[in-house]
Structure 1
Amino acid sequence: MALFKLARKNAYAKPGRFLLTSLAVLIGVALTTAVFVFTDSLRETFGGLSDDIESGYDLAVRSEIPFGNRLNAAPIDLGLPEELSKIEGVVAVQPRVIEFGIVANKADGSAALASRGPNIGINWEDSSPTPRLFIAEGRPPISITEFAVDIDTANDDNFVVGQKYDLQTPQGLRNLVLTGTFTFANPEENASIGSKLIAMDTRSAVELFNSGVGYDDITLTIDSTYAEATIVKNVKDMLPSGLEVLTRSDLVAEQADTFNEFINIFRTILLVFAFIILFVAAFIIYNVFSIIIGQRIQEIGLLRALGA
């Protein structure tokens, strides 16, 4: 009982030491836990975004790459969509174009560059029954003299529907009319993840973004009464060498894996800082308790000498 009273008295006598020691443990453990909770939440959020981004189709045809970046994949022949549409069970064929570095200049002539993602040019998906682009204002572009931007870009950089703006493309600077704004992947919320999106009609996108040589991939919507495996086999049988067909679930998983690579790097960096804090806390606690134990031994010896 005397030892308990003495310990309590010492804690009250030096509250700062007691509180700081407890705080060191609490901060280290809390930060480590927060890192895992935060990155798991990010993984779940980006998993949902992957599902939204790769939405509106059942199968996709793209060029195979043995290694390297998919941005270096060979373009797909312009005549392939027509051939794919002849396969029994295929109800819609949507060619897609994507090109990085497509930038619209603002009214003052400066480039509307994305600060949290890339500037991307895509085609308006007019052949898909469930497209990923949803008009917010105006109308879709229908000719090589027109384009549309995502709604966040329009709001942030003061783009006005009906006005002309310069568009930076691989074919040079083009002065085009802004016909509309859109949300990406979700009709209620723009899921561009910080990117600035420029959309043109498919033919114009191929011409200006891909130099007229082909598509980046082709998505297929299939009749629900047909077995997916059967359609996949039929598509594989008619594809030329160098092309592959994947299911939507395969591409969603691939997209999620890409996000997870960045999340894992981010988590590792945060965990390094958390473990440094834990190490410093453990070092401080070890030294503090070494001092405290030395003091307690002296106090216990004194109590024994006094007959406690």
Structure 2
Amino acid sequence: MSTESTSADLTRSSRGQATKERLYQMLLFGCAALTVFVTAGIIVTLSLDAAAFFEDVSISSFLTGTEWESSHGQFGVWPLVTGTLTVTAVSAMVAIPIGTAAAVYLSEYASERMRAVLKPALEILAGIPTVVYGYLALVYLTPWLQAIGLDLTLFNTLSASIMVGIMIIPMVSSLSEDAMSAVPDDLRQAGYGLGATKFEVSTGIVIPAAISGIFASYILALSRAIGETMIVVMAMGMQARMFDPTDPFGHLFQSGETMTSAMVHAVTSDATGGTPEFYSMFAIGLTLFAITFAMNLLSNRITARYEEEYE
């Protein structure tokens, strides 16, 4: 009887394998380092050019001023910040309820066949160019809102905010649905076993269990809304207005300006390089970067704080 083994030799050369693993490690490290390098490069570039702006305009007047008229030397950023936050808040009122409800339906109610149709259809919204959303807001949404009795100007904050909210619905619904689908079925079955209805299981078990992912989707979607440019440029206008808490609807019904549209205005205006008006876009960009960075940091903190671990 032969004593030779008939099993296949599944071992590899340890030396060759170690070389490949080092190459893979170097390649992956390079990709990770590239993302950090790009982020650091953006911060350094914005900071250097913003420093040139702050040589002519004091930081205190920039951060506390309530008038923005770059052509007249007024560089108070608060009208731009309040315009940006107004658009973000109204878009959140549109996207969060609709997106969350769509995510609950896709995760808990829709059949596999229906989910295969509806989820890609929702995600198509994310692929539509934002200039198309801006055109729809200006040509169709604003006249429709005027027809139902709202006293809107041609360029107004409300139309732009609603359209930004529609644009970020796919981000809320898709990420929230992924978080809900990751909840183990054992939790659902336990709820059904105790006599809970599907709605009670959805709202009382699934949503609380997936709350970290749902909140993360909200923060990421709102970060996207803050950085939106074309919709607000086309539908909102470029007239910076300070938010008046005593007349919030008046602010919504009139034109306004966000931080991103102010940057576009600085680039497309007649301002030449080296002037405070030109360098103002870097100061605005640095402020916008700080806001979005803080929101993403908040998202990470919320995710880590409320993340559920299942075995």
Same fold (TM over 0.5): no
Q: Which has the higher strand share?
A: 1
Task: Report the structure number with the largest CA radius of gyration.
Answer: 1
Range into which the TM-score falls when normalised by the shorter chain:
under 0.3
TM-score, normalising length from structure 1? 0.27
TM-score, normalising length from structure 2? 0.27
Q: Which has the higher helix share?
A: 2
